[in-house]
């Protein structure tokens, strides 16, 4: 069955149906990772976005029950060159098409994803609609707010606090006899693998909603605080920024991705929207103190303005090797640090996994 991708500038690209029938609307972005489509689809940072996967064959190892990064598909839609109908892997339980159908997610395949990626790189990200008719897509685009006009964090954050243990989510009333240091996680769009890595590193994650106040966070008696990744424009998160501002200096803080941008705003800095963002598993980052370069997994469309940090308590610690954008900041006097990339990967390289152990060691003293 024919299906169409209608872009915000009026361009129409024809393909064939993938997943559920209907229409999906979102900001059209691309991810260059060769693997990890299941993790990408369930990453809350993709809320409000239609993801184009640049690798031509997607779904050859299927979908399993272990690699979900949240409790639902977060992306608005999926664009691929070809979706594998008959996956082959001992963990596979279904195909990508079946997963999308089960979760009522509209996708499209059979179009030239290389052409689409080059168009986004040249013109920048744009809103788009995947639909069964061009007229349907145009109507949906006309009535849908732009990506930067929505507060996605409050739709992906947890509604209630919970603890994380060896088997996953646990009730906050669950006894905690381990004596592990407590890490309170401000959930702005959390991936499960972040919690898995911190538990393995030796701490006890306690996840709270993005709406939590300073007093509510401190009532958990945290040894450290994590500012999680998440979707959308950080400038729209005024209440969350005020919360972060109130936490600086009270406990050690570590921020990841959106957490890096929130820490920037909390000290008076600014962020800006990238032309097409950083999304993939092969982004080189340089540490300005050591000179060491690591390969990182990334997923963000906004970045810290380095000049805006002049005169603030923060300093730039890491930069992107490709375009020089800020990849990390620090407030040494407040024991607060953040990075723009994803040390938990899923998918991606493990180069930056030591951050989990280092932070847990620092809050265990």
Q: Which residues are catalytic?
A: 257, 342, 344
- Tallying the residues shown for the chain, one arrives at 365
CA–CA–CA angle 84, 88, 92 (5° rounding): 95
Q: How many angstroms separate the most distant Cα atoms in the chain?
A: 62
Q: Is the dihedral of CA 226, 232, 235, 236 positive or negative?
A: negative
Q: Return the structure tokens found at 25.
A: 């609307």
Give the integer Cα–Cα distance in Å for 90 and 93: 9
Q: Are 15 and 6 in contact (CB under 8 A)?
A: no
Q: Which DSSP letter does residue 230 get?
A: -
Q: What is the CA radius of gyration of the chain?
A: 20
- Which three-class secondary structure state does DSSP give residue 315? strand
What Å distances lie between residue 133 and 235, 299, 315, CA to CA?
Answer: 35, 30, 50
Closest CA to 97 of 113, 120, 80, 75: 80
Give the integer Cα–Cα distance in Å for 229 and 153: 9
Q: Return the structure tokens found at 339.
A: 């990075």
Give the integer Cα–Cα distance in Å for 15 and 137: 14
Q: Are 43 and 299 in contact (CB under 8 A)?
A: yes
Buried b (16+ CB within 10 A) or exposed e, 82-116: bbbeebeeeebeebbbbbbbeeebbbbbbbebeeb
- φ, ψ for residue 104, nearest 5 deg: 60, 45
Give the integer Cα–Cα distance in Å for 262 and 256: 9
Q: Which DSSP letter does residue 160 get?
A: S
């Amino acid at each position: 069955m024919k299906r169409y991708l209608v872009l915000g500038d009026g361009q129409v690209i024809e393909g064939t149906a993938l997943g559920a029938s209907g229409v999906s609307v979102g900001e059209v972005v691309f991810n260059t990772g060769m693997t990890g489509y299941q993790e990408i689809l369930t990453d809350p940072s993709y809320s409000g976005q239609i993801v184009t996967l640049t690798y031509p064959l997607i779904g050859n190892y299927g979908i399993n029950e272990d690699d979900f990064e949240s409790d639902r598909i977060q992306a608005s839609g999926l664009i691929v060159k070809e979706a594998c109908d008959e996956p082959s892997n001992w963990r596979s339980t279904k195909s990508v098409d079946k997963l999308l159908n089960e979760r009522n997610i509209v996708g499209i395949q059979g179009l030239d994803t290389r052409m689409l990626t080059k168009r986004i790189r040249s013109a920048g990200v744009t809103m788009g609609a995947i639909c069964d008719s061009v007229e349907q897509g145009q109507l949906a685009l006309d009535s849908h707010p732009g990506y930067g006009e929505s507060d996605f964090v409050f739709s992906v954050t947890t509604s209630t606090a919970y603890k994380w243990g060896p088997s996953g989510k646990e009730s906050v009333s669950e006894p905690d006899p381990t004596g592990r240091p407590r890490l309170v996680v401000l959930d702005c769009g959390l991936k499960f693998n972040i919690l898995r890595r911190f538990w393995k590193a030796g701490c006890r994650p306690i996840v709270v909603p993005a709406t939590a106040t300073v007093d509510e966070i401190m009532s958990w008696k945290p040894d450290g605080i994590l500012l999680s990744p998440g979707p959308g424009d950080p400038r729209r998160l005024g209440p969350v920024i005020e919360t972060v501002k109130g936490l600086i200096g009270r406990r050690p803080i570590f921020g990841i991705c959106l957490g890096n941008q929130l820490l920037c705003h909390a000290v008076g800095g600014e962020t800006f929207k990238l032309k097409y963002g950083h999304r993939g598993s092969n982004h080189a980052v340089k540490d300005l103190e050591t000179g060491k370069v690591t390969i990182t997994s990334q997923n963000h469309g906004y970045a810290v303005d380095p000049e805006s940090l002049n005169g603030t308590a923060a300093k730039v610690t890491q930069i992107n090797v490709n375009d020089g954008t800020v990849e990390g900041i620090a407030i040494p006097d407040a024991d607060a640090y953040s990075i723009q990339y994803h040390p938990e990967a899923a998918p991606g390289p493990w180069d930056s996994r030591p951050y989990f152990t280092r932070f847990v060691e620092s809050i265990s003293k």
